[in-house]
Amino acid sequence: MTSGMRVAAAAWRLAWRVAARTTVAQLVLTVLGAAAPVTAAWLTKVVLDQLSAPGGPADLLWPITGLVAAGVMTALVPQVMRYLRAEQERIVALAALDRLYTAVNRLVGLGRFEDPQFADRLRFARHAGGSGPAEITTVSLNLLQQVLVTAGFAVSLATVSPALAIAVLVGAVPAVAAEFALARRRAEAMNTVGPIERRELFYGQLLSDVDAATEIRLFGVGSFLRERMLRERRTANQVQRAMDRRSLRTEALLTMLSTAVAGGCLVWVVNAAAGGTVTIGDVSMLVAAVASVQTSLLGMVRDLAGAHTQLLMFGHYLAVVEAEPDLPLPVHSRPVPPLRHGIELRDVWFRYREDLPWVLRGVTLTIPKGQAVALVGYNGAGKSTIIKLLCRYYDPDRGAILWDGVDLRDLDPVQLRARIAGVFQDFVSYELSAAENIGIGDVEALADRSRVESAAREAGVHDIVSGLPHGYDTLLSRTYFAGDELNGTTPGTMLSGGQWQRLAIARSFLRGGRDLLILDEPSARLDAEAEHEIHQGFRRLRDDGTSLLVSHRLGTIRDADLILVLDAGTVVQAGSHDELVEAAGPYAELFSLQAAGYRD
Ligand SMILES: Nc1ncnc2c1ncn2[C@@H]1O[C@H](COP(=O)(O)OP(=O)(O)OP(=O)(O)O)[C@@H](O)[C@H]1O
């Protein structure tokens, strides 16, 4: 099966599975829609032949009734088809959306999200997933209808003159070839324009993004960014304009060709009628047949060409939905048992891509069960990368990470992450209610207001949330209305950077009791008092479990059981705060620099 047919078959399977009734109804109407014009042409011929018959017309009741029925059918079928198509599109688009985002959620790592090609594919997939399958089934049904109409009229034409039928069909060959060539070029143009439009979208979003608005206005870069956006649009327009001009030229030529063929047929049939070799009914039949065959053939070719583009788009959708896992998953993954001994990084080497430098160069370290380990080092030393590897967002290129001696690659990543709580350096501020912002840390607790509140209290954010206009139910957003999105008039409320961070911390408190607590700069935006309080809270949480804390503020990690100093992707020092301050080395230097900052 060619890849186009495979994609079309997948679209049909999806439509059949989720919208069988509307699909069958469309099939039936397609056949009726094809039969109507052929029947009408034959009945017109019968009526005309009877009218011009030497003995006068015989009984015209049934052909006239048939003509009326065919007329009603011709008018009604497209309207019902439009409704059915829209209904099918709604049902299929919902199922396709579900499948697409199930597939996106199935990606356990981060690598694909950082791949520009995947980003383009996802954009096409989002577009094609909505209307793609419905468009492909519609095009297929149109094709079926046109094949039936063409066949019906070709047979009718052949009864008048087989040579004419062949001439009309052969006259369509150049159109078929030209439309296919156009379709291929259209697809190429679309692939060229894809990344350009993604850039344009980026600038457009940036220009209308509320968070970016402050910097854009302070730096006065609005016009600069707008110009960049327009430049992308102009480039995309250039590609599309060239394509449209090519289509216009080709299609104008094809129209002239089909008009010439139709004209030739008309001249022949008028001559034949004048010579008495064909009847008046034959003339009407032939005029209808030539026009219909040409329209159907061209329509068929255009539909096929359009289908080519739709198939390519839906191909992107299938590529995302059927993608292999981004990280190799074990066939028989082991359950992730509670941590008993500790987590070990054994000679771990890692780089984000083969063409990029190594970020971790043989890191060996242990996070013993029940201990608080801190990771310090300069910017870019690889601290957050270690955290991402511990959550298995990436796999090490060399070496291994062991959970009680079992390689993380042999564990189910979803189960592994269920054993981890944490606050990331670039935590997310969800445009949801305050309660949901906390509850998302453990969706099972989303409806449990007492658990949400107690996490908020631990993170020192309860009073702030209680003081909001609707307390825990206040929408935290500047871009959406609270409650009824359509008719709402109450705008959301915004928090300060530190308050958002406290919410992120509350999320991690809600996940208390997990085996590993990961904290990547969890208090970077907090004031000194809040930072002190939060670290007390973390300490309580750490007492029951195992933790890894990354912080540039050495005061917050001085009571860690073990401090590891990372430099250019290797552990260069390890020990307690006192030991490291005693020893000459980067930690002592960093510490005395920070301490001096406070003393001076
Ligand atoms: N997704 C990524 N793709 C490519 N390179 C990356 C990616 N994330 C980080 N890096 C690179 O890896 C190196 C280590 O980054 P990492 O975020 O681990 O440092 P860090 O020690 O946490 O730094 P900081 O103290 O600034 O947070 C940096 O040079 C960075 O440019």
Residue 127 lies in a domain: yes
- Assign residue 465 the CATH number of its domain: 3.40.50.300
Residue 540 is predicted with a pLDDT of: 67
Within this chain, do residues 311 and 438 fall inside the same structural domain, yes or no? no
The Å distance, Cα 384 to ligand 1 centre, comes to 7
Within this chain, do residues 168 and 307 fall inside the same structural domain, yes or no? yes
Domain termination residue (choose one: 321, 341, 362):
321
Domain that holds residue 289: 3-321
Residue 530 lies in a domain: no
Residue nearest ligand 1's atom 28 by CA: 380
Residue 233 lies in a domain: yes
Residue 15 lies in a domain: yes
DSSP 423-489: E-TT----SSBHHHHHHTTSGGGTT-HHHHHHHHHHTT-HHHHHTSTTGGG-B--SSSBSS-TTT--
Domain termination residue (choose one: 455, 485, 513):
513
Residue 403 is predicted with a pLDDT of: 95
pTM: 0.78
The Å distance, Cα 412 to ligand 1 centre, comes to 26
Residue 193 lies in a domain: yes
Residue 64: band (very low, low, confident or very high) from pLDDT cuts 50, 70, 90:
confident
Closest atom, ligand 1, to C-alpha of 386: 18
- Mean pLDDT is lowest, of 67-81, 181-195, 408-422, for 181-195
Kindly tell me if the per-residue pLDDT of 428 is higher than 60: yes
Ramachandran bin of 557, using left for φ above 0, alpha for ψ from -120 to 50, beta for the remaining angles: alpha
How much is the ipTM here? 0.98
Within this chain, do residues 304 and 163 fall inside the same structural domain, yes or no? yes
Within this chain, do residues 433 and 297 fall inside the same structural domain, yes or no? no
- Assign residue 129 the CATH number of its domain: 1.20.1560.10
Residue 599 is predicted with a pLDDT of: 60
Residue 557 lies in a domain: no
Residue 551 is predicted with a pLDDT of: 87
Residue 578 lies in a domain: no
Within this chain, do residues 440 and 293 fall inside the same structural domain, yes or no? no
CB-based burial label for 45 (10 Å; 0-12, 13-18, 19+): buried
- How many separate domains does the chain show? 2
Residue 134 lies in a domain: yes
Ligand 1 binding pocket, CB closer than 6 Å? 114, 352, 356, 359, 377, 379-385, 425
| Range among 44-58, 178-192, 253-267, 454-468 rated most confident | 454-468
Mean pLDDT on 494-502:
87
The Å distance, Cα 438 to ligand 1 centre, comes to 27
Count Cβ atoms below 10 Å from residue 61 Cβ, excluding itself: 8
Domain termination residue (choose one: 321, 347, 366):
321
